Structures are given as C-alpha cells and as structure tokens.
Structure 1
Amino acid sequence: MFCYQCEQTAKGEGCTIAGVCGKSSDVAALQDLLVYALRGLSLYALKGYKAGIIDKEINKFTCEAVFSTLTNVDFDPPRFQKLINQCVAVRDSLKEKLSKKGITIAHTEGPATFTPETTIEGLIKQGEKVGLKSEPDLNPDILSLQHILTFSIKGVAAYADHAMILGKSDDKVYQFIYEALAAGLNKNLTADELVGLVLKCGEINLLAMELLDNANTETYGHPVPTKVPLGAKKGKAILVSGHDLKDMEEILKQTEGKGIYVYTHGEMLPTHAYPGLKKYSHFYGHYGTAWQNQAKEFAEFPGAILMTTNCIQRPKDSYKDNIFTTGLVGWPGVTHMADKNFTPVINKALSMKGFENDTNGKSVMVGFARNAVMGVAGQVIEAVKAKAIKHFFLVAGCDGAKPGRNYYTEFVEKVPRDCVVLTLACGKFRFFDKDLGDIGGIPRLLDVGQCNDAYSAVQIAVALSKAFECGVNDLPLSMILSWYEQKAVAILLTLLYLGIKDIRLGPSLPAFITPNILNVLVEKFNIMPIKTPDEDLKAILG
C-alpha cells in the first residue's frame, strides 16, 4: 500500500504498511480500485453530459463513492466491494445508453473496460496494481498535481454530498468531478493545464460550499449566537459526532419524549446554533473534543454514540458495542444503519446507565456564522476605525493526533488583546473553551462553525473588504490554517482561487506537494509553513 492523502501520514512521507488512521492495506487497495473504477465511469459521464444524458442518481452515487475514500470515513471491505461492482454496473449502463445514441468512446482498456474480480481478495490484488505509485515513470511534478486534484475532489464530493442530502445540487459540480477524475487518465496534460484544473477545483469547491451553506440555512435557519454547556444532565444519553445536520435532526426527532438527552461531539458542536435544531428541549450540550482525548471520552461516555461522516479515529474494541454509524461511515464490527431509523441507538442508550448526576462545567459560545457577524458589521467596522480592534486572525482547520498541533493553542493564547480570533472546523477544539474576553461587547473568539461552514468565513472576509473598500489581501486579516484531510485541501484551493495570499499552513506541509510545486505556490501566493507562535505573530503584527 501507499497512501499520503492526510497530514498524519507516516514519517511525513507515506503510509506503506497500514494507515496511521487505522486503515488496513486491504482497505487502501479497495479504495484505490474504487477511484480507478470511478475514473472509467467519468469518461462515460462526460460524454453523457455533452449528449444531454444527465442522471441524478449517477451523480449521487459518484459523490458518495468518492466521499467514501476520504480519510476516516469507511474502513469496511464488503462495502467497497459493493461500491466497485455498482460503479462498473453504472458505467456499463451509461455506455449502453450512449451507444444507442451512436456515441462511442475511444478508450478500450483500463478503467473504461476493466472487469472486477468476484472476490474481495481478487479485488484487493487488482487495487494493488492501480494505486498512487502505479506510474513510477511519470514526472513527479505532474504526479503531484494529479494527486492534489484527486485528493481535493474528495473534499468537493463531501460538501456536494451533504448539500444533496438536503436537496441542493448543481450540475457544474458533478461535471467537474467527472472532469477531474478523467484527467487522471490523460497523460498528455501539461503542468500548466493541471494547475488550471487545480485552481478550477477551488472555484467549484466554492460553489459546493455555497450549496451546502444554503441547504443548511434554508432548512434549519441561520445560526444565532448560542451558549452551549459543557456539563451533563442526569439521565440517559446519546452522543452525536460528525457533520451531518440531517442525521442530527432525525436523532432529535426520534428521541423526543423518550427521556434521553442528546449531546454533540466534535464538529457537531455548531449545530446547537441552528434554530431548527436548538428548539428541541432535550438537545442539551457538548461532550468532549475532536481528537486529543477521543478514545478516553468514548470509553467513558455512559450512553450510545452515533457517528456521522468522518473526522474520527477508528473505534477501539472496548467501546465498539456502544457505537453506531450512519450514512457513508463504516467499520468492521460496528452496527451500521442505512435507513436513518435510529431505534438501535435509542434502545442502546436506554439500556445504559447514562449520567448519574448533573455536572456543571464551562460553557462556550457558538453561532457566529456569516449572518450573525454581518449583523454587527457596523460595530466591528467602527471598532477597527477607532483602533480598538487592530487585527483579525482566522485560526481554522482540522485537528489531529500527531504532535505539533499545540501550536494553535499557544498562538491563540498569545494573540494580543486588541485582536479578534475567528475559528471554524475541528482544529478549534485545541482552544475552543478559552475565555478571551471581548472588545466593546464583541467576543474576541468567534466560532464560525464546522469545516462545512468555510463558506461563511469567506463571505465574512469579502464583506469586510467591501466595507473597507479594499481587497481581502489588504485587510488586517491573517489566516493561520491547520490541515488534516481532503476537505481542508479543497478549502485551501478555494482560497488560492480567490487570490488570497500569505496563508500560514501547518502543522506540516502536504507530502504530495513536490518542491517545485511548492515553489509555484510560494511565488504566486506566498503560502508558507507555520514557525513558532512568537515568530509568526511578530512577522504579522510587527
């Protein structure tokens, strides 16, 4: 196996025996084969778009299949066997539809025609031949750009899938996913052409995030500033982790009146701010972080745990029986529910002891998404003009277990008191409970939301630039980003597409970016690795 799509990859170079994430070499091979199969499907899907043959179900399947290969989503071999077979069946069905219209495709080999083996063992052997290192003679810089494109498409597919669940879609997104996947088969693309596709991916990701933002806010209302307790209520309990708002709504509906309190974990924290979700009286508080103490938190949680989407470590055997998954998430030995009937989770919660006493802990504020921040834009602008606010820092991105991420905690702690910190995604759990005070009633720590809410942060920056009649790069705004998986890669490409410069990225730079490609990013966008909090603050503020 070889995998280097996440920040924690072994030795900063690549996982070759098993994934640091817990992914086995067998699952890695099956994921590689699924991506290979999807490239073949994409060739036909692009022909279909040109011929007016557009199938929403194929688009839905493609997004789900691509999303399933993102870090920490699905580790279950039988489910990948099903997806690979389904992909080939969809490909052949589309091929037949095109053929009836007199449209043929030039590819007569490779993923356009390959036949999957009938056993998981056979599929694994096929997958081992088509992985990231299957073309050793390809120019390293070309390969780097192809991998950047492939990994970022996984992030785009994730956002598009979330949006589609709530009824929002756009053919431009799906057509580009096919274009990007098919590009991996075109050995004649130049570096310049691939750079163009990489930046276009950033543009398409912006559209996908806008779709998701609209889906969330039109369904559940715009987030409002909300205080969320970090303690517990005596009684039965369910913990919900992940990102999916529809799953959160369903578990709240199905537990209503059953004497169960629902808690959030990780990226679900911002859901407390949505009017359509916070209305449930048994939706109580937040329990735990995202990465640092997750195994301990899950082992000690006295109720059932529902996992949606990704950004979670592979569950340990000691608490597997208490975990249930939904949507695309899957691990061997963990109960999966595909139909959003959460009765098994509810019954498990009712059978467990729950919290035996009320506990009063800290509380945190959430809900400072674009609508809330723009609502006090005048106050913010006046504070900047009066020099009460000197600088804004967007400290955002992914969390992870590898050492080095304490940089972000220390950075936020050392930000001067005349500066405001905006944050989003699971990286904030390094410092989300810090009391930074306020500036004239404006909290110094503003939680914009999930990584899925990156569109909000972009819109806040754009609104500020318009208010001050300058470009985003001229604002007193610095971006200090942490990355872990492929959604973060897609967001970074969106920022580059928007022309945003001087981004500081860490804890380490992606292993899939070659020195030459890094030089291009440095020269064009002045992207740079983080140093120490003191050095970076001095460089930014002088």
Structure 2
Amino acid sequence: MFCNQCEQTAKGIGCEKVGVCGKSENVAGLQDLLTHAVQGLAIVATAARKVNVADPAVDQFIVEATFACLTNVDFDPARFETWIRKAVELRNDLRTRAEAAGATIDSTAAALTYLPAVDRAGLEAQGAALNLIQSLDPNEDLRSLKQIALYGLRGLAAYTDHAAILGKKDDAVYAFIEQALADLTRTDLGLNDLIALVLKCGEVNLKAMELLDAGNTGTYGHPVPTPVPLGHKAGKAILVSGHDLRDLHLLLEQTKDKGIHVYTHGEMLPCHGYPELKKYPHFYGHYGTAWQNQQKEFAEFPGAILFTTNCIQKPRESYQDNVFTTGLVGWPGLTHIGENKDFTPVIERALALPGFPSDEERGEVLTGFARNTVLGVADKVIDGVKSGAIKHFFLVGGCDGAKPGRNYYTEFVEQVPQDCIVLTLACGKFRFFDKKLGDIGGIPRLLDVGQCNDAYSAIQIAVALANAFNCGVNDLPLSLVLSWYEQKAVIILLTLLHLGIKDIRLGPSLPAFISPNVLNVLVENFSIKPIAATPQEDLQAILA
C-alpha cells in the first residue's frame, strides 16, 4: 500500500504497511480499486450525459463511493467488495444504454475495461497491483496536482452527499465530479490544465456547501447562540458522533419518552444550536472532545454510541459492543444501521447499559454563531472595528489530530490580544473550545461557527464584512490560521483559493502529496504559508 492523503501520514511521506488512521493494507487496496472502478463508471456517465442518458442512481453512487474512500470513513472490506462489484455492474449497464442512444466512448483508460476478481482475496491482489497513486502520472508535479484534485473530490463528494441526504441536489455538481474523476485518467493534461481543474474543484465545492447550508438551515432552522453543558445527567445515555443532522434528528424522535439522554460528540456539538433539534428535552449536552481522543473517551461512556458519516477509529474491545454505525461509516464486526434508519438496536443497547449514576456539572460552552447570528449583529461588529475596539479577526479552525504540533493552535488562541475576535469551526476548535476569552462590547471573543460542513457560513461572514467596508476579503483585518487532517479540509482550502483568499497559514505540516514545484505555485499565487514554529512569530507578523 501507499497512502499519503492525510496529515498524519507515516514519516510525513506515506503509509506503506498500515495506515496511521488504522486502515489495513487490504482495505487500502480495496479503496484504491473502488476509486479505479468508479473512474471507469465516471467516464461512461460523462459520455452518457452528452446523449441525455442520465441516471440519478449512478450519480449518487459515484458520490457515495468517492466519499467512502475519505480518511476515517469506512474500514469494512465487505462493503468495499460490494461497492466495487456494483460500480462495474453500473458501468456496464449504463454503457449499453448510452451507446444505444448514440454515445461514443473513446477513452482507452484501464478503468473503463476493468473486471473484478472472483473473490475478495483476488480483489485485494488487484488493489495492491494497481498502485493507484503512482499510476496517476509519472511526472511528479502532474501527479501531485492529480492527487490534490482526487483528494479534493473526496471532500466535495462528502459535502454533496450530506446535502443530498437533506434533499438538496444540483446536477451540475454531480456532472463535475464525474467529469473530474474521468479527467484524472487522462494522460494529455498539462500543468495549467490540472491547476485549472484543482481550482474548479474549489469553485464547485462552494456550490455544494451552499446546498448543504440550505439543507441544514431549511430543515432545522438557523443556529442560535446556545450554551451546551459539558457534564451529564443521571440516567441512560446515547452518544452521537460524526456530522449528520438527519441521523441525530431521527434518533431524537425514536428516543422520545424512553428515559434516555442524547449527547453529542466531536463535530456534532454545533447541532445544539439548531432550533428544530433544541426542542427535544432529552437532547442534553456534549461529551468528549475531538475524534482522535475517542478510544479513551468512549471507554468511559456508559451508554450506546452511534457513528454517522466519518471520523471513526478502531473501537477497543472494552466498548466495541456499544458502538453502532450508519450511513457510509463502517468498521468490520460492528452493527450497522441500514437505510431504514431503525435505531432500535442502539436504543436497546443504551437501555441495557448502566448509564450515568448521577448528575455532574462540568461547565458549558457556547455554540450557534453561524452566519445568520453573526450577521444579525453586523452593525455592532462594524462599529467595533471603526471605533478601534476590535482590531483584528482570526479564523482558527480546521481538523484536529493526534500528531505533535497541534498545541500551537491552543497557544495561538490563548495569546490572541484582548481586542481581537476568534472565529472557529470544525473539530480543530477542541484545542481551545472551552477557553473563557470574554467579550468585546457584548460580542463573545470566541465564536463557534459550527462544523467543517459550515465553512460556507464563515465565507459568507467574511464576504458580508468585506461588502460593508467596501473592500476585498484580503483587505479585511482578518487572518486564516488553519489546521488540516483529511480531505474535507483539502476541498475547503481549494474553495478559499478559488475565491482568491491569500496569506492562509496552514499546519501543523504541509501535505505530503504537494510537490515542491506545486507548492511554489501556491506560494507565488496565493501566498499560502506553513504556520511558524511558535504562535508568537505568526501573531507578530500578522499584527505588525
């Protein structure tokens, strides 16, 4: 295997025996093989569109299969075998229909004629022999750009899937994902072509995030500032992790009047700010911190645990019987809740477990400062800037992780001057989410914008402020200091680059899949830079 798609990749180069994420060599090969098979399907789907042969089921499958290969989503080889075979079945069926309608499919890509082995062992051997990353392109720089595009597409697929679950779709987004996956098999694309493709990924992702924002707010209302307890109530308990609001909503409905308190974990924290979710009295508080701490935190949780979407780690034996998965997330041996979303097994397990023996107070944190809330007090923010009460805004957020160097973000926020405001989103905030930073004229100095899925809100806040001051976003007293771990962070970064935002500080290390020459392009065109050795250095440079 060779995998370098996440920030924690071995030795900063690539995982070759087992993934730092816990991905085995055989699962890594199956994921590569699924990507290969889906590329073949994408070639056909792109050609089929030209003769008006559309298949929404194919479109959605491509998105889901691409999302399933994102870091910490699914580790179950049985599911990957099913998806690989389905990809080829869909490809052959769609090709027959498309060619009958007059489509010409002239690609010579191996993905177009790939045939799966007869058993899983054979599939694993095919995946190992494929050597997906090296096969993208022999040229280091072209391969680097193709990797950036592929990993960006996995993040884009995630947001597209999240939005589709809430009924928000745009055919143009699906068409682009298919075209881009197909283009990555081509050998005639040069440096400028691939740079354009990478930036186009960012442009299309802005639309996908807009759809997701509309799905979340249209279904559950605009988030409002909400204090969230960090302690717990006596009684039975269910913990929900991941990102999916609909799964949480369905679980809350199914647990009404059952004497079970439902808690959030990780990126589910911002769900407490949504009015349609807040109305459930048994939706109580937040337990734990970021995804990488789950093995310790889950071992101490006395109830059932439900994973939605991504960020699962290998469950320890002490609590694995308490863990359930749904949607695309999966781990071999765990009970998976299917598309019927009947959470009865989760509820029964929670009722069988002891729950918390007594109430416990651990303070609270504030969430719910998405765009609607922040823009609702825009006049106060603008007045604060004009009066000098607010000197600077920092967006400090992104993915958290276990690799050393992430204490930088805690120290950075602690050292931000008192006349500055920190906006945050995604699980990177768990490095400092419980810090008491006070306020400026009634505006909290630490504003939790939401999940990584809510990056659209942060962008809209920046655009609205730029419009209010009649300037560009790059002219605002705003600095972005981002952490990254997986491919949702990659696609958000591409969206920011598409928007022309410059001087982004990125860490704790730069992606291993970016070649020196490609990095130079990013530095020259966008002034992207790694975080400094200490927060003091960056703060001094930013505020100079």
For 1:469-499, what per-residue CA distance to the aligned partner results, in whole angstroms no more than 9, with x for missing partners? 0000000000000000001000000000000
For 1:384-425, what per-residue CA distance to the aligned partner results, in whole angstroms no more than 9, with x for missing partners? 000000000000100011111111000000000000000000
CA RMSD of aligned residues (A): 1.0
> Which residue in 2 is equivalent to 1:461?
462
Q: Please tell me whether residue 203 in structure 1 is matched to residue 214 in structure 2.
A: no
CA distance in 2, matches of 1:292, 1:22: 12
> Which residue in 2 is equivalent to 1:497?
498
Which segment is superposed worse, 287-296 or 157-166?
A: 287-296
Letter in 2 for 1:534: Q
CA distance in 2, matches of 1:134, 1:518: 19
> Which residue in 2 is equivalent to 1:105?
105
CA distance in 2, matches of 1:269, 1:341: 23
> Which residue in 1 is equivalent to 2:540?
538
**Shift, 1:136, TM fit:** 8.6
CA distance in 2, matches of 1:287, 1:220: 22
> Which residue in 2 is equivalent to 1:277?
277
Letter in 2 for 1:310: N
Letter in 2 for 1:194: L
Letter in 2 for 1:528: K
For 1:72-131, what per-residue CA distance to the aligned partner results, in whole angstroms no more than 9, with x for missing partners? 000000100000000001101110111211323123561111110121110011111223
**Shift, 1:379, TM fit:** 0.5
> Which residue in 1 is equivalent to 2:20?
20
CA distance in 1, matches of 2:63, 2:520: 32
Check conservation: 2:424, 2:449, Cα contact below 8 A. Answer: yes
For 1:420-464, what per-residue CA distance to the aligned partner results, in whole angstroms no more than 9, with x for missing partners? 000000000010000000001000000000000000000000000
Q: Please tell me whether residue 439 in structure 1 is matched to residue 455 in structure 2.
A: no
**Aligned ranges 1:403-442 → 2 under 5 Å:** 403-442=404-443
> Which residue in 2 is equivalent to 1:526?
527
Check conservation: 2:244, 2:309, Cα contact below 8 A. Answer: yes
Q: Give the secondary-structure state (helix, strand or coil) at the position aligned to 2:130.
A: coil
Name the CA shift for 1:108/1:194 in 2 (closer, same or farther; >3 Å).
closer
CA distance in 2, matches of 1:170, 1:417: 43
CA distance in 2, matches of 1:151, 1:317: 32
**Shift, 1:525, TM fit:** 0.3
Name the CA shift for 1:191/1:109 in 2 (closer, same or farther; >3 Å).
closer
Q: TM-score, normalised by structure 1?
A: 0.99
CA distance in 2, matches of 1:533, 1:142: 34
> Which residue in 2 is equivalent to 1:360?
361
> Which residue in 2 is equivalent to 1:343?
344
Name the CA shift for 1:108/1:517 in 2 (closer, same or farther; >3 Å).
closer
CA distance in 1, matches of 2:19, 2:312: 14
CA distance in 1, matches of 2:461, 2:93: 45
CA distance in 2, matches of 1:505, 1:164: 30
Count residues in correspondence.
Answer: 542
Name the CA shift for 1:108/1:493 in 2 (closer, same or farther; >3 Å).
closer
CA distance in 2, matches of 1:407, 1:325: 33
Check conservation: 1:72, 1:314, Cα contact below 8 A. Answer: no
**Aligned ranges 1:4-15 → 2 under 5 Å:** 4-15=4-15
> Which residue in 1 is equivalent to 2:92?
92
Check conservation: 1:3, 1:132, Cα contact below 8 A. Answer: no
> Which residue in 2 is equivalent to 1:215?
215
Listed as ranges, the gaps of 5+ residues in structure 2 are none
> Which residue in 1 is equivalent to 2:153?
153
Q: TM-score, normalised by structure 2?
A: 0.99
Check conservation: 1:33, 1:131, Cα contact below 8 A. Answer: no
**Shift, 1:133, TM fit:** 3.9
CA distance in 2, matches of 1:203, 1:109: 27
Q: Give the secondary-structure state (helix, strand or coil) at the position aligned to 2:325.
A: strand
Check conservation: 2:136, 2:184, Cα contact below 8 A. Answer: no
CA distance in 2, matches of 1:130, 1:157: 23
Name the CA shift for 1:137/1:162 in 2 (closer, same or farther; >3 Å).
closer
Check conservation: 1:291, 1:401, Cα contact below 8 A. Answer: no
> Which residue in 2 is equivalent to 1:450?
451
Check conservation: 1:76, 1:330, Cα contact below 8 A. Answer: yes
Listed as ranges, the gaps of 5+ residues in structure 1 are none
> Which residue in 2 is equivalent to 1:235?
235
Q: Give the secondary-structure state (helix, strand or coil) at the position aligned to 2:351.
A: helix
For 1:166-214, what per-residue CA distance to the aligned partner results, in whole angstroms no more than 9, with x for missing partners? 1000011111111111111111100000000000000001000000000
CA distance in 2, matches of 1:255, 1:135: 49
> Which residue in 2 is equivalent to 1:373?
374
Q: Give the secondary-structure state (helix, strand or coil) at the position aligned to 1:318.
A: coil
**Aligned ranges 1:272-311 → 2 under 5 Å:** 272-291=272-291, 293-311=293-311
> Which residue in 2 is equivalent to 1:470?
471
CA distance in 1, matches of 2:131, 2:108: 20
Q: Give the secondary-structure state (helix, strand or coil) at the position aligned to 2:179.
A: helix
Return structure 1 stretches of 4+ with deviation > 4 angstroms: none
CA distance in 1, matches of 2:133, 2:96: 32
CA distance in 2, matches of 1:267, 1:261: 18
Check conservation: 1:465, 1:472, Cα contact below 8 A. Answer: yes
> Which residue in 1 is equivalent to 2:313?
313
Percent identity over the alignment?
66
Name the CA shift for 1:109/1:411 in 2 (closer, same or farther; >3 Å).
closer
Check conservation: 1:230, 1:285, Cα contact below 8 A. Answer: yes
Q: Please tell me whether residue 387 in structure 1 is matched to residue 388 in structure 2.
A: yes
CA distance in 2, matches of 1:103, 1:132: 28
Name the CA shift for 1:520/1:115 in 2 (closer, same or farther; >3 Å).
same
